[in-house]
Amino acid sequence: MATRPEPDFDRDLDDLPAELRWREWMRRIEAVLFASATPVPREDLARVVGQQASVELLIEDLGADLADRPYELAAVSGSWMLRTRSSYAPAIRAAADVGEQLLDLNEFDVAVLAAVAYNQPVTRDGLKDIFGKEISRDLIGRLFVSDLITTGPRAPRRGAPYTFVTTEKFLVAFGLESLRDLPDREQLDDAGMTRFAS
């Protein structure tokens, strides 16, 4: 992976009063998050602010600044991104071309994703044990193409079959910061999905 050149601009902004410097650093972070198609890690955000600035405090202030906006800051896997608040989804679907961004998942697809998330790394045989039937290669392929799952470590048994794990896009798609944010068993019981998280 190629390293990015150092930004050719004043990171520290020493000529600005402290309040304006902080506000400019917040705006830089917002601009980077707005322009990025994927969550941005702390290290990348630190490249656009002064060396003594706390990215975490800037993120916290930016989050508060966005409280009355139609989009919000979301933490995903140790990185941050901007996303539209879910309450605006109907308006966006009514007026914007978001066809390629929508996940075309049926209930069984979501159940397989849940099984992978709760049991990862899991093999196709492991999924077969959970569902009591073979999971089609077509379904696994669609989840791969959607970048919701990827291959994990090879299983430590004869033939070393591939395992499946969820991706960062899975976390983003389901509004999770990490897998620790998956619903607990009681929530799954309430949703009638306990059998998929065994």
- pLDDT tens digits, 141-193: 888 888 899 999 887 888 778 899 999 889 888 888 888 888 886 776 676 65
> What is the DSSP secondary structure assignment for residue 49, as one 8-state letter?
S
The pLDDT, as a whole number, for residue 167 is 92
Distance between CA 47 and CA 190 in Å, rounded? Answer: 45
User: Which residue spans within 2-69 are E strands per DSSP?
Assistant: 40-41
* DSSP E strands, the chain: 40-41, 71-76, 79-84, 149-151, 164-166
Architecture of domain 18-88: Orthogonal Bundle (1.10)
User: What is the pLDDT at residue 195?
Assistant: 54
Ranges of each domain in the chain: 18-88, 103-197
pLDDT score, position 44:
95
Within the chain, which residues score under 70 in pLDDT? 1-7, 97-102, 185, 188-189, 191-198
Residue 4's pLDDT is what?
A: 60
Pick the CATH number of 103-197 from 3.60.20.10, 1.10.10.10, 1.10.3210.10, 1.10.3720.10: 1.10.10.10
pLDDT for res 6: 59
CB 142 within 8 A of CB 109: yes
Can you give the pLDDT at residue 155?
Answer: 78
pLDDT the model gives residue 142: 85
Whether this model's pTM surpasses 0.75:
no
- Res 145: pLDDT: 85
Q: What pLDDT does 59 receive?
A: 96
* 103-197 shares the fold of 18-88: yes
Position 2 scores a pLDDT of 53
- The dihedral through the CA atoms of 86, 87, 88, 91 has a sign that is positive
Q: In this structure, what token pair is assigned to residue 119?
A: 């049991």
| Confidence at residue 110, expressed as pLDDT on a 0 to 100 scale | 86
How confident is the model at residue 164, as a pLDDT?
93
